[in-house]
Amino acid sequence: MGIKYRVDEDLVFLQYCKEEDLRILAGYLTHDKDQSARMASELLADDNFKKFAGKTDQYRQCWQLIAGELQHFGGDTIVNLFRGDGVLYKEILSDVCDNQKVKTEKNSSAYAMENKLLEKFIGDAWEKLGAEQRASLLKEFDIGYNSRDGEGLALLKAALLSGIGSLQISSLIARSAASMFAGRALGVIATGGLGRSLAMFAGPVGLAVSAALTVPAISGAAYRVTIPAVIQIAYMRRECEAREFF
């Protein structure tokens, strides 16, 4: 069928993203957690993608192919065949939020919906941390580490609404997802200003993200693609925001 990108205002920023971040996003589309190739993926066999093989900016040059393949994964296979393309990112994001039982407003922006989803994952991870780990995490983010235990999660969620806090938290979650779903070393993704010691929290956060795929109803192949892909895109949007591309 070939990859057809559907113009999408919520994905157009991908052209400004870093090569390695796009490579990780594409990895979710082309390979499963065990690094086996996805049968449904067409990206690596696409002539336009292969044309840039060996170039240092291959993934940046092909950002529309990557976005188009994600849109196809988010849509119904049969419907895609008749329509010729996939669905917009907002529909993919909304679908992931619904399955994660994350409530969003119908008219919310993609940015706001992503924040709700990140808030859910950081909340799940918080439950897996001990008291000392929670205090250390708050100290790493330089927010209220002298606060009472019950206030810590609320402070983290509040940090998601600030530019640098949103970047740091999304970076931590994306790094954790990459380690769980892409088999990559934690240092691969840009740090987003995080300290090295935050790597200790990647395990609990990664387990919280991984748990999202243990529910039978959402263990299908499309969700194994769209959930980590949406997490990666949320981080990439905030990384671009920090570089003032918006």
Choice between 140 and 158, residue whose per-residue pLDDT is larger: 158
pLDDT value for 148:
61
What's residue 163's pLDDT? 73
**pLDDT tens, residue by residue, 67-82:** 999 999 887 665 565 6
Please report, rounded to a whole number, the percentage of residues in the chain having pLDDT higher than 70.
77
pLDDT surpassing 60 at residue 220: no
Determine phi and psi for 37, rounding to 5 degrees: -70, 140
pLDDT in tens, 227-246: 999 999 999 999 999 887 66
Only one residue has tokens 């205090």, namely 135
Sign of CA dihedral 118, 120, 125, 131: positive
State the pTM of this model.
Answer: 0.87
d(C-alpha 9, C-alpha 232), whole Å: 17
Q: How far apart are CA 32 and CA 213, in angstroms?
A: 13
- Assess contact for 14 and 236: CB atoms under 8 A: yes
CA distances from 228 to 97, 121, 153, 240 (A): 12, 12, 23, 18
Mean pLDDT of the chain: 82
* pLDDT value at 60 more than 90: yes
Question: According to the 3-state scheme, what is the secondary structure of the chain?
Answer: CCCCCCCCCCCHHHHHCCHHHHHHHHHHHHECCCCCECCCCCHHHCHHHHHCCCCCCHHHHCHHHHHHHHHHHHCCHHHHHHHCCCCCHHHHHHHHHHHCCCCCCCCCCHHHHHHHHHHHHHHHHHHCCCHHHHHHHHHHCCCCCCCCHHHHHHHHHHHCCCHHHHHHHHHHHHHHHHHHHCCCCCCCCCCCCCCHHHHHHHHHHHHHHHHCCCCHHHCCHHHHHHHHHHHHHHHHHHHHHHCCCC
| pLDDT for 186 | 44
